Every structure is written in structure tokens, then in C-alpha cells.
Structure 1
């Protein structure tokens, strides 16, 4: 008896401690309510509107073909923001606006690039400038130099020898034939594998750098001091056949903050290798290279675009959806991620066209700076919903983040939540190419599984059948998820996203699959609508730190 009374008292104390306000870890007990069921009649109407009167590809074409690539802070990005606001208003959304997301850094835009091999035989050369690098000082005509620098001793070897030079920085890469199809859909076996949740194990620590090993920033400073004419890299091994992979990740998300980077271009692997082979014959080679890039530093803010369908009896509560608006500059940012923005915009258009009256307000958001580390979504979440005592979102250090293991909040001790933290039900993201939706990653949120299973039942014939408990990385759902707000990325058919399209010159409208995007807009509209109509908000995962509402 004494033991039983002790256990009873212990349980009461534990319960009181667990749910006291000072120890709130972002989880509320879910009230008992009716089971979640998909509103089949509304799903049918969403399908009919989305398939028969789609405006999606029209939006996607204008954004990618007319406006083009969208580096944050560039004139093209600003023009795209203005177009998105006008388009949302055209479709009947309210509160469409361009909203600051916090300091980002300078903008950049390529204005011109021209590369030619003129001797010993003429060939136009396929190459693209690296974002946030400078342009050349007019046209450079000269013989390239192969200077592979991987250590401090290499720097000493070439010191004082590269002024004004066209510097090939890597050995040529041998291309290989590809024996697998360029595009594929998930098979039933693939989807089944996604439903398996491996137990996460902490990886071993990274090896310490060798004393002579260079940091990328050291190399940037060396080339700047040498006053090189232009640096030339070969396209990476992810894709060949004239596909050029070009982005800017050398400084782990800080490339855009490093000023006066020497002119740098990435060349198609085949063209790069040909030039290197000619040099090996000791035959004189002449290249003509000209690059014009512009920087924009008058306004260092980042900006998102938002628009709403107002709610009714719970209009002060939110459901959100979106994708990232920024892109790289090799292509036009079509599959990554104008496709996601077009899908979210079309989902909003469908719901507005049907005249639905959602209980919660539905808000779409197009994020900036995703490619540099979720600048737009991190800033938005921090400003609207909260941040930790260590400012884990607004001042995220990507290097520390990448070295952490299952601990995105670092050494934070508390989440300082804003009033809207308890008013958002969930966020749905689309950012894995243009492949159709096959299911959803639920980010280890066990409680949403039975809810989503019900919503997916009428979508089974569209191929939507899979719920993956495991988390997925690399998209704008993460800042929501990090502070306990349900944030989700859909499972999408891979198609030819990797390696052919992702961050390459082939990331263009022509490689977006219309029927897949139409299906995706329908599915996203269903998920968003169902979330907006629930009696309760979506259940939340526990947080490892307490929450204090301010």
C-alpha cells in the first residue's frame, strides 16, 4: 500500500511538472474529437477545378521564361516579387505583399558571358559564371594556365605567376557513359523502403584538417592578391553531355557575404577536358573570355512574398504552404523551385475559385535565400513565431549546423515564442523538382500519421499512398519543424531532378512535367484545405527545450 501511494503521488507530481507553464515543451494534449475524414465532395471539386481549368503552367512559364533566374537582391528577383503579388491579386487573394525577412546581403546578377576557343581551332565554349564573383576587366585574350592549388606549398609555387591569367583550377575530369535511365518514378519497392525508419546513429567525427590543407577563404584571398584574370572550373561529375552544374557552396552558405571574389566560370566538362588535352600536346591555345556581373548592395534585406485566403470562425489561426522563389543562375530556376511556387499558387487559385470558406486563414509564402541556408523561411519563422535564446533561426551558422547531429537548436536553453506560435497549425512545402506527389514525410511526428492516412484515401488513385516517418532535409519546412511547428515536405517522384537538372543549366521550363505539377497542386490544395477545416490544429512533436510565450 505504501508503495502504491508513493507511486500515485509521484505520478501526480510528474504530471504537474510536465504540463506546468514554465516547462512547456511545445506539446499540448490533443482534445478528444471526431475522427479525421477527408471531405470527399470537396476533394472532387478540387480535382475538377485543378484538372479542367489549370493556370499553373502559364504562371510557371512567365516566372521562368520572362523573369528568368532569381538571385536574391537582384533586379530579376524584385521583378519576380512584383509579378507574384500581382498574380495573387489577379486570382483573388488578399493581403498579397512583399515582406522583409531580415538581413541577407548583397544581390548579384550576371549580365553577359562569352567564352570562345580561337586557336588552334575555333569552338564556342559552354560556361557559366559563379554567383557573387566579379566580372572580367573587359575581354581577356590569352593562353590558359593549368594551376591546381590544394595546399599552402602549391600557393607558394604559383605566387606572383598568375596576374591577369586564365587559370584552369582543376585536372580534367573523365566523362563516363550512363547506362541508367535519365528519369524514373518511384516503384512500389522504393516507396516501401521510404516507409522503413532506420534507427539514426551518430556518425564519427570528421577528420581534422592537415596542417598544409587550405581553407576555401585562403584560396579566395590568394587569387585576389594575384589579380588573376579569370578562374575556370570543370563542371562536376553529377552530369555531362553539355550539362553544367553551377552554384556557390564553397563557403557553406556564406559565399554571398565574401566580397571581391575573383572572376570565376564553370565550363562544360567536355570543353574543359578538350582544352586540357590540347595543352598537354604543348600546342598553343588561345581563349577569349568576357564576363559582366553586377552587384546590388543598397538594400541588404531579404524579402518573401505572402498572400492569403481569409478564414472564418478561426481566421486568426493559420495554415501555410509554399516553396522557395530564389534560384541559381545557370538555368531559369524552373524545377528548383519555381515549380514549387507555381504549385502553391495554383493550390491557392483552386481553393479561391471554388469559393471555399476555410475556418483558418490559408497563407502562401514564397521564400528568399533558400539556397544559401533558408534565409527567407528562417527569418519569417523567427519574426512571426519565435526563436531561441541563442537565436538559432535568425543567426544560424550553417557550419555548426552541419556538424551537429539531430540538434538544430544547438545549445539553446529556451524557445521564446510569439503569440502566433500557438495559432499556426502547419506548413506544407514543395521543393524536390516537378515530380508528382507520392506521399509525405512526417518528420518523426507519429501523431499526424492517422490524420494524413485518412486524407490520402481519396488520393490513392493519383498515386498518393506513402507516409514516411523519417525526416527529410534541405527544404523550407525545416525552420518550422525546428521549433515544433508541424512542417512537411511532400514525397515526389524523382524524375530526372538528380543529376541532370538540380543546380544546372538544364533547370528550365522545358524539363517541368505538366501533368505531375497539376496533380501536385490538387494534392497540396487537399492537404491545406483539410488542415484549415480541422477542429484542432495538427498535433506537435515534443521539443527538447521549454517554451516561453512572449
Structure 2
């Protein structure tokens, strides 16, 4: 076959352009003009710091059922309204209402020291009184009958029910400074101690919850825990099991002090005053905001982040930063893209921390939206830059996600690893509620910033841990993906991949099942 000179010339030019666009071979093409507008608005007119102050510093943590949760719902509606975006609070259930007050915990003997700690969520208070009592350690006894015999001795005392950690230094600190022999020795001792403590609690014959209730029934003054998060000064703060006496968590440093005093027979005493209020059954809400389309009003692109938090600190990175990412992306889109090709929705979900309840209720209550969902983008694992997107088991997700990502600015896009088709998420965050219903929903997964140790559910999840440059980057990525999903002339495919074989059954893996939401959390069933 004879090939013309013109064809060879065109082929050479085409190959040269493609070659020049490869990494390391010349500059990438400039961003799309609309993407440049998004970047300029996000950079020059960012609202992130102001939003963070109002949400984290003024309102604070957002435990489901607390006044702060409702205050946050109303704040978000007002903020969206001020940007010209329609917003509403949708009630999806009720929850046990509770309001945290102050916690004062002091060592008063054999010396005086104020201790760092707080009551757990939903803990009973001390009814306006300061309770003083001796501290004892859960002993290592022979069996459950021995614990039954021991129980009366706890009357009027505070009981330490957590293992005393052998070190308050995280492993990365040991790795940097310790000898290998010293580090290995510490780890071996910790493993043995952990095993022994687990055996101690197992011999009580009770679950953790039932043990706490048994101590309460026996007349203990309070339960004292230390749920260390493997980082300097960081403890995880969850919920109490007791119904009449306070459950408090003390930082590793101070817990160790009190534990050693008790262990060595120094008869430590502490005083505790914790204030809290029971509020009965209170309504629980999702906050939903909308930029309506006039082109395809009944097709939807969603932004997603849970609004609630645990309340050991401010809920800044779990999931305040995800919340701000979505709010800022919505603000930018309303300003620059007020007439989208598809309706844009954002969901700020309640009670994610207790089992994705708000988003699961939304999926159940809005089948018309789930049925016509083009895509959902959820962010929920800390302040870091988005670095991973999985196809969540949707067979053709690589095609549309790949096209949409191509418009993300190169410095941000190059940091994002993709995994197609991936596996469907069965939990972890609110995207899973939609995936279970067969809707294309994706997690914008972030890099760590030691999230698991330092801010996930801890007493250190505060404003100062936010990396605003990363959150700003995430708002840009989200805005671009939403814009591209709206503009795409094709509807996204929902075809599911064949999942890998389950080695136990020899059958292909099953798609996650839809889970019913808990709509009356912490409350007795309605009669």
C-alpha cells in the first residue's frame, strides 16, 4: 500500500502532540476555562476559614440528639439561603436527646492534680454534686463467681476498667529514637499485657456493657476508662453504657498516674463533677440543599458528607472538613453554574456515626432520587487531599469517572489513584447507603494526616488540625466532578461487575444488601 506524504506528516504531528502531553515531555494542556473560573473563585474568595470557625468553634461538636446538632442543621440552611440556594431540614427519625455540660475530674489524694478527661456521650451526670471516692482497679480473679463475690466491694468507689498502657509514645516515635531491641521488647510486653487484660475481662463472664451495668448496680461511684488512640494525648470518646452513674474517660497520661497509685497501694482518691441533661425524644434531621435544573430537573448529581460527629472535641475532621468541602463546592457552583443540566443536591447526613442512619433513611424515603441519580460524591476521612477513587463495583465506572477526572486540574488529578471497577462498599460512610441501592456513589478518599490516631473520634479533633489548602483542593475537585457529571450527555451505567469468589462458599461475592435505618436511637419502642 502506498502511503502519501500528507498522511505521514499528519501522523507525525499527531504522535508529537500525544508525546508532548506525556509526563515529563512538555507542559500539559491548560485547564478548561470553566475549571479556571472554579479555581479562581475557590482561591480568591474562599469561605472555608469562616465556615470552619462558625461550625467548629461556635457550634462545636454535633452528636446526634444534642442541641448542637439541631443548631448546625439550622446554621447550614441559613448559610445556603444566604447564597441563594434552596435548603431544608428533613426529619428522618428521633433520637435520645442529651446535652453535655462541664466535666471536672481531680486527683485529691495522695496529692492534688487536675486530670484531663471528660464524661462519655450520653453519660449520666452527677446531679449538680461533686462525688469523691477511692479508686480501685478491676482485679484479675479466677472466674465469674469470684467477680460476683468481689462486686459489693466497689460500693462508693470509682473503678478503673481499662488496661494501663505501657507507653504513651506512639510507635512511630519509638521507631525513630529507640534501639531495635528496646522497641521489640516494648511491643512484646504490650502484646502480653493486652492478652492478659483481655483474659481478665473475659473471666468476668460479662460483655463490656454488662460489666459496666453490673458495677453500677453494685453501687460504684463511677466507671473510669482510657480509650487511647495510639497518638500523643489522643483518646477516643464514644458513648457510655451506664444509666445512673457517670462514665468518664481520662487521658493516658493521667489514667496511668491514677492506675499506678492504685496498683502500688497509695489509695488514690478522685473527685468528679459532670453535668449533663436528658432531653427526651428529639427529632433528627438531614440538611438537604438544591440547585434546580430546568433542562433535566428529575436527574440528580449529589454531593454528600455526614454532618454529625462524636463530641470529644469539635468534630473538625470527622466530618467537618467533608461538610465544608461540599458547602464550598455548592457555593462555587451556584455562583458560576447557576443553571445546571441536571439538578444538584447536597446531603448533610445525621447519625452516620451510629450506622449511616440519616443517609439510609434518605435512600428509603426518596426512591425517585436514587432511581435517577447520575452520581454521588462523598468525602469523609479527614482533612487530607483526595488521593483515591474506587469504581465501587460498577462495571463501566472507569469510562465516565475517567472522563470527568480528565478536567480536574493536573496537579490535583495526578495525586488521585483510581481502582476500577473496584468492590462495592458495604459501610464505612454514607456513599455505601446509595451503593447498596444500586446507585453510582463514590468515596473521595483522602490521605491520612494520621487521621486514625489523632482526630478520628478523638478529643483532639479540633480546628487547628484542619489543612485548609487540602480542603480547598477537595472543594475544587468536587466542583469539577459535579459539573462534568451534570454536563455529561449520557446517563451513567449501573451495570455491576461480577464480584470475586467468596472462598468460604465458592460463589461470587454478593452485592451489599440494603440496611434499614435506626429511626429511634436510644429510645424505647413506641407502644
Determine if the alignment matches structure 1 residue 64 to structure 2 residue 18.
no
Question: Could you tell me which residue of structure 1 aligns to residue 250 of structure 2?
Answer: 267
Question: Could you tell me which residue of structure 1 aligns to residue 440 of structure 2?
Answer: 486
Q: 1:544/1:81 Cα in 2 relative to 1: closer, same or farther (>3 Å)?
A: closer
How far off is 1:502 after superposition?
A: 0.8
Question: Could you tell me which residue of structure 1 aligns to residue 342 of structure 2?
Answer: 360
Q: 1:210/1:147 Cα in 2 relative to 1: closer, same or farther (>3 Å)?
A: closer
- Conserved 8 A contact 1:165-1:228: yes
Question: Could you tell me which residue of structure 2 aligns to residue 383 of structure 1?
Answer: 365
How far off is 1:343 after superposition?
A: 0.5
2:163 pairs, out of 161, 171, 174, with: 171
How far apart in 2 are the matches of 1:107 and 1:545? 31
- Indicate the structure (1 or 2) with the bigger Cα radius of gyration: 2
Cα deviation per residue 1:180-210 (whole Å; 9 max; x = unaligned)?
A: 379xxxxxxxxxxxxxxxxxxxxxxxxxx98
How far apart in 1 are the matches of 2:512 and 2:319? 33
Structure 1 residue ranges without an equivalent (≥5): 1-37, 183-208, 249-254, 386-418
- Conserved 8 A contact 2:107-2:271: yes
- Conserved 8 A contact 2:97-2:281: no
Question: Could you tell me which residue of structure 2 aligns to residue 456 of structure 1?
Answer: 405
- Conserved 8 A contact 2:300-2:373: yes
Determine if the alignment matches structure 1 residue 243 to structure 2 residue 192.
no
How far apart in 1 are the matches of 2:330 and 2:399? 25
How far off is 1:134 after superposition?
A: 0.9
Instruction: Note the 1:35-184 alignment, pairs <5 A.
Output: 40-94=32-86, 96-103=87-94, 105-137=95-127, 138-148=129-139, 152-153=144-145, 155-175=147-167, 177-178=169-170, 180=172
2:452 pairs, out of 486, 495, 498, with: 498
1:307 pairs, out of 289, 301, 304, with: 289
Q: 1:215/1:541 Cα in 2 relative to 1: closer, same or farther (>3 Å)?
A: farther
Q: 1:538/1:260 Cα in 2 relative to 1: closer, same or farther (>3 Å)?
A: same
How far apart in 2 are the matches of 1:91 and 1:152? 61
Q: 1:259/1:363 Cα in 2 relative to 1: closer, same or farther (>3 Å)?
A: farther
How far off is 1:321 after superposition?
A: 0.8
DSSP 3-state at the match of 1:524: helix
- Conserved 8 A contact 1:500-1:506: yes
Determine if the alignment matches structure 1 residue 437 to structure 2 residue 351.
no
- Conserved 8 A contact 1:325-1:338: yes
How far apart in 1 are the matches of 2:242 and 2:224? 19
DSSP 3-state at the match of 1:373: coil
How far off is 1:228 after superposition?
A: 2.0
Q: 1:174/1:142 Cα in 2 relative to 1: closer, same or farther (>3 Å)?
A: same
Question: Could you tell me which residue of structure 2 aligns to residue 466 of structure 1?
Answer: 417
How far apart in 2 are the matches of 1:119 and 1:89? 55
For these two proteins, the number of residue pairs brought into alignment is 439
How far apart in 2 are the matches of 1:157 and 1:176? 34
How far apart in 1 are the matches of 2:353 and 2:160? 26
1:348 pairs, out of 330, 334, 339, with: 330
Q: 1:181/1:468 Cα in 2 relative to 1: closer, same or farther (>3 Å)?
A: farther
How far off is 1:546 after superposition?
A: 12
- Conserved 8 A contact 2:373-2:439: yes
Structure 2 residue ranges without an equivalent (≥5): 1-29, 175-200, 497-509, 515-527
Q: 1:432/1:112 Cα in 2 relative to 1: closer, same or farther (>3 Å)?
A: same
How far off is 1:39 after superposition?
A: 9.0
Q: 1:181/1:276 Cα in 2 relative to 1: closer, same or farther (>3 Å)?
A: closer
Cα deviation per residue 1:38-60 (whole Å; 9 max; x = unaligned)?
A: 99232222111111111122112
How far off is 1:149 after superposition?
A: 7.7
Question: Could you tell me which residue of structure 1 aligns to residue 524 of structure 2?
Answer: none
How far apart in 1 are the matches of 2:41 and 2:364? 35
The range that moved more, 369-378 or 46-55, is: 46-55
DSSP 3-state at the match of 1:433: coil
How far apart in 1 are the matches of 2:163 and 2:457? 22
Determine if the alignment matches structure 1 residue 230 to structure 2 residue 212.
no
1:369 pairs, out of 329, 333, 351, with: 351
1:277 pairs, out of 260, 283, 288, with: 260
The range that moved more, 215-224 or 122-131, is: 215-224
TM-score after normalising by structure 2: 0.78
How far apart in 1 are the matches of 2:436 and 2:41? 35
- Conserved 8 A contact 1:344-1:521: yes
How far apart in 2 are the matches of 1:221 and 1:425? 48
How far apart in 1 are the matches of 2:346 and 2:164? 45
Instruction: Note the 1:188-207 alignment, pairs <5 A.
Output: none
DSSP 3-state at the match of 2:61: coil
Question: Could you tell me which residue of structure 2 aligns to residue 520 of structure 1?
Answer: 474
- Conserved 8 A contact 1:447-1:539: yes
How far apart in 2 are the matches of 1:154 and 1:517? 54
How far off is 1:486 after superposition?
A: 0.9
